Amino acid sequence: MKTFSHTQQLNQKELEERVKNMYRQVALFPNEEYHFEMGQTLALRLGYPKYILDYLPTESLASFAGVGYFFHLADLHGGEKIIDLGSGSGLDAFYAAFQVGAEGQVIGIDMTEAQYKQANFLRNKNNFANLHFIKGYIEEVPLPNQSIDVVISNGVINLSPDKGKVFKEAARILKPGGRMVLADIVSTIALPNKIRSNAALWAACIGGAIPLQDYTEHIEKAGFQIIIIEDNSQYYFKSDNARSACRKYGIKSISLLAIKK
């Protein structure tokens, strides 16, 4: 995972370093204990088909820290060009590359050096010629206008203080009629400032959650029509503190499909 840009409530440098440190640990030490679940058990419970996971790099699966499944909404086709915003360990990018085939192309972008290096190593090791990883920020994607068929993202956009900019970038790089398919963390009610201004809670995928209504308004203002939203009831945080916040503020995982107008 991940990303950053501008915020009035947080120290940008501290926030970015917190997130980078969190997901550096995830990349390098996937067997350690985190407040969120990881790996194959999580992926299978969220809905990833085992027969496809069996074709993907096991190291990428071990570091998988997504929050939902959305490929049933993405309906990827052979030959399409995909970008994964905040590609992390690369599992979703590898999954997409498997689905679009040799004639397709998948790009993963991530700001965390350890995640980028691991995903790129696994790409080369496993000969995924139709997949490329780049280091960068999801608010400033280094791709031309209208060059992508499908944008995907899993558990990342909640980490950005400038979600509106992320969605505008997604709209910019998508072709007309292109699809944005994602899973992410949202809330039912607005979080208090003491949580939103805590960089550690942002890195934990809690502090950056915004109400679903605000989240969808950002998407629509960027030029998308939302087609479907699904709750990911099989996703949950492990720590007691995180679960308590989820209950209090209605923090949950969703999957979403939107079409660029």
What is the tens place of the pLDDT at every residue in 157-180? 999 989 999 999 999 999 999 999
The stretch 127-156 carries a mean pLDDT of 97
What is the tens place of the pLDDT at every residue in 1-10? 444 443 445 5
What is the tens place of the pLDDT at every residue in 81-110? 999 999 999 999 999 999 999 999 999 999
Q: Share the mean pLDDT of the chain.
A: 91
pLDDT at 10: 58
247 pLDDT above the threshold of 70: yes
Pairwise CA distance, residues 90 & 76, whole Å:
17
Q: Do 122 and 91 form a contact (C-beta atoms < 8 A)? A: no
pTM of the model: 0.92
pLDDT at 3: 46
Pairwise CA distance, residues 187 & 61, whole Å:
27
The stretch 189-199 carries a mean pLDDT of 84
Contacts of 170 (CB under 8 A, 6+ apart): 85, 151, 180, 222, 224
Pairwise CA distance, residues 82 & 132, whole Å:
10
Pairing of strands 252-260, 224-231: antiparallel
pLDDT at 121: 96
The stretch 131-140 carries a mean pLDDT of 96
29 pLDDT above the threshold of 60: yes
The encoded tokens of residue 142 equal: 């280094």
Q: At what angle do helices 12-28 and 113-125 cross, to 10 degrees?
A: 30
